[in-house]
Amino acid sequence: MYAIDLWDDQFILNDDHYHMKNNKLATTLDQHPLYHTFLSNMWHLRDKVVPIHMDSVAGLEWLKSQGIQPDMIYIDGDHHYDAVVRDLEACSRLFPDAILVGDDFGNYKDVSKAVTECAAKRMKSGVRTKC
C-alpha cells in the first residue's frame, strides 16, 4: 500500500476546514507532528505501507512512472473544491481502471460538489473522461 500525503502541519493550521481552536491544534501538532505520528502508527505495517511524502498529484505521477498500477485509490486529501477536482482528474487520467473511493462526501460541501460534478460528467459522456 502506498500512502501519499504532504503531512504538512502548517497547511493544517492554516486550513479553514478544521474547527479546533488554532492554539489547541498547534499544541497538538507540536506534540504529535503529522508525519512522525503517521510513521509511528504504521510501524507495525512498515513492510506493507510505503509513505510517499509529496503532493497527491505528484505522488500519483510518481507511482505511474514506476509502473505501479493500483486497483483502488482511496482519496482523503485537501477538502477544497479545486483540490478535489485536481485529485479526481489526476486519478482518472493516470489510472482510469482504478476504483476511486474516499470520505468526507457528507462533511464538506466542496468535496460533495466536486465528486457529484465529476460523476455526472463521467456518466453523461458514457466513457472515462476528465471531471
How many CA atoms lie within 13 Å of 116's alpha carbon, on the beta-carbon side?
A: 9
Answer whether residue 9 shows pLDDT above 70. Answer: yes
- State how far the Cα of 57 lies from the Cα of 73, in Å rounded to an integer: 12
pLDDT score at 27: 72
Domain that holds residue 60: 54-131
- 121 neighbors 93 (Cβ within 8 angstroms): no
Answer whether residue 126 shows pLDDT above 90. Answer: no
**Same domain? 59 vs 25:** no
Q: Which of 79, 87, 80 is nearest to 118 (CA)?
A: 87
**Same domain? 83 vs 116:** yes
pLDDT score at 5: 92
Residue-wise pLDDT tens digits, 60-101: 999 999 999 999 999 988 889 999 999 999 999 999 999 999
**Same domain? 28 vs 68:** no
**Same domain? 77 vs 130:** yes
Residue-wise pLDDT tens digits, 25-44: 667 777 888 899 999 999 99
Give every CB contact of residue 70 below 8 A, 6+ residues apart in sequence: 2, 63, 95, 98
